[in-house]
Each structure stands twice: as structure tokens, then as C-alpha cells.
Amino acid sequence: MRQVIIAGNWKMNASKEVTNILVMDILSGMVNVKSKVIVCVPFPYMAQVEALVGCSQLNLGAQDLNINKSGAFTGEVSVDMIKDFGARYVIVGHSERRSLYFENNEIVAQKVQVALNNNLTPLLCIGELLEERNSGKTQEVVSEQIQTVIDLVGIDAFKDIIVAYEPVWAIGTGITATPKQAQDIHSFIRSILAKHDENVSKITPILYGGSMNPRNASELINCKDIDGGLIGGASLKAQDFLQICKAS
Ligand code: 13P
């Protein structure tokens, strides 16, 4: 059975003070949480969160990585730097990076490969735009996004990848995919993996992201192929985040 995973994506939010309060509040509410819980925080706060989480069950992640080892890449952050702060997870291919920073499927696949080669677990984000859904292209888009990664890293690598299906029209809009809409695509994603390797498809976690909140989390997470959530806005409120962590 796949473990439920709840990951918070703070995006470009928080401050030193907010980080302190948020992480302390999450930690103090984590008794009885059975899910794996990850917080993907902005780079400047990683050292602070590393110190706060200590050996607790709260895991630290980053929100992006650069594919190069080191060198003249002003403003960028390498996997070694991410690992230096005890992080074991990294978000790759978030729709905001795809749309605002022009990351295409090939770049995303390379980032997944670099993360895996360096023992970081990638949270690989995929998902369609509203116009793609409206023109019946959801499956085509999602399957291209995932296939590019399979082509580069191989299906076996999906034993160490967390997939996050985030329909772009649901991100930050308050419009959540219905459990049926989400489950349909999750099951489709699993079927793509199964075409390559049935066993791998059964163990790869597939999270849902896009306006997940304490009110809709339980119904979504209880769907057969939904193994947890990647949470934006609601991960910035400790009580909401904790409620989602306990929703499964
Ligand atoms: P929201 O939960 O704010 O819709 O954001 C989802 C997301 O983008 C997580 O990566």
C-alpha cells in the first residue's frame, strides 16, 4: 500500500518570523499524523527550517534546482547546496516554472535526472492548462509531460519519483478539480506507468495539487489513485495544513 504524502509548497512566501511560527506550529500539531509530510520552502529559509525540524517527522524540500554542479550560474542553486541543508526532496517542473521561466518538458526531465543522480527525491509536477482541458487535450498533454521523463530516466526511476498532478486551472484559483476529474487523470497517469512496468505503477505516489484545502482534502485523498496532496496556499496556515495532513 502506498503511504499518503502531504507536501507544502510555500512558493515565494514567508519571512524569518513567519517561518519560525509556521514550522513550530506544524511540528506541535503533528502527533497522530501518519502521512509523510514535507515542506518545500524558499531557499533563504532552508537553514532555519533544517534547524527547526531536527530529527522530527517533518521533511524538508526545495522548490527547484539547477542542473549544473557549480560555477558561473548567477542566482541559481545546485543539488549539493540543497542537500547541504538536509533536504531530501525537490519540486521539479512546477507549472509556474514552466510558464514564467520557460521550462519545457526536456528541461524538466533533466532536472529530474539530476535530482535522482544525487539522491534527492523529485516531486515531478505535471498538469494541463484550462484551454487544453477545454479542447480535450488533457491526456495528450499529461502523457507527453510524463513520457519525456520516462524517455530520459527510464521507468525504473519512477520507484524514486513522486508525481504531482496539478491542473493549472486549479492552482491558486479556489477552483479544485472534482474528485472524479482528479481520479480520472490520476488513473490515466498510472496507466501510462503501467504500460512500461506494472509493478512500478503500483508504487509510484501520485499527489493532487490545486486549491486543496481542509474541506476538500479528505474526499480527494480517499480516491483510489490519489496518494496525497501538493499544497500551496493552505500550507501557509499551520492549522489548515495539519488538517490536510490528518485528512487521509
Ligand atoms: P494552491 O494550493 O495554492 O492552489 O497551489 C497549488 C500548488 O501550486 C502547489 O504546488
Map out the domains of the chain as residue ranges. Answer: 5-246
pTM for the structure as a whole: 0.98
Q: What pLDDT was estimated at residue 109?
A: 98
Ligand 1 pocket, 213 CB below 6 A? no
Binding site, annotated residues for substrate: 9-11, 172, 211, 232-233
Q: What pLDDT was estimated at residue 1?
A: 79
Pick the catalytic residue from 103, 128, 166, 186: 166
Tell me, letter by letter, the H, E, C secondary structure of the chain.
CCCCEEEEECCCCCCHHHHHHHHHHHHHCCCCCCCEEEEECCHHHHHHHHHHHCCCCEEEEECCCCCCCCCCCCCCCCHHHHHHCCCCEEEECCHHHHHHCCCCHHHHHHHHHHHHHCCCEEEEEECCCHHHHHCCCHHHHHHHHHHHHHHHHCHHHHHHCEEEECCHHHCCCCCCCCHHHHHHHHHHHHHHHHHHCHHHHHHCCEEEECCCCCCCHHHHHCCCCCCEEEECHHHHCHHHHHHHHCCC
Ligand 1 pocket, 166 CB below 6 A? yes
What atom of ligand 1 comes closest to residue 234's alpha carbon?
2
Ligand 1 pocket, 233 CB below 6 A? yes
Ligand 1 pocket, 64 CB below 6 A? no
* Ligand 1 centroid distance, CA of 208 (Å): 9
Q: What pLDDT was estimated at residue 248?
A: 77
What atom of ligand 1 comes closest to residue 172's alpha carbon?
4
The correct CATH number of 5-246 out of 3.20.20.150, 3.40.50.2300, 3.40.50.300, 3.20.20.70 is 3.20.20.70
Q: Is the dihedral of CA 197, 201, 203, 205 positive or negative?
A: positive
pLDDT in tens, the chain (248 residues): 799 999 999 999 999 999 999 999 999 999 989 999 999 999 999 999 999 999 999 999 999 999 999 999 999 999 999 999 999 999 999 999 999 999 999 999 999 999 999 999 999 999 999 999 999 999 999 999 999 999 999 999 999 999 999 999 999 999 999 999 999 999 999 999 999 999 999 999 999 999 999 999 999 999 999 999 999 999 999 999 999 999 97
* Residue 140 annotated among the catalytic residues of the structure: no
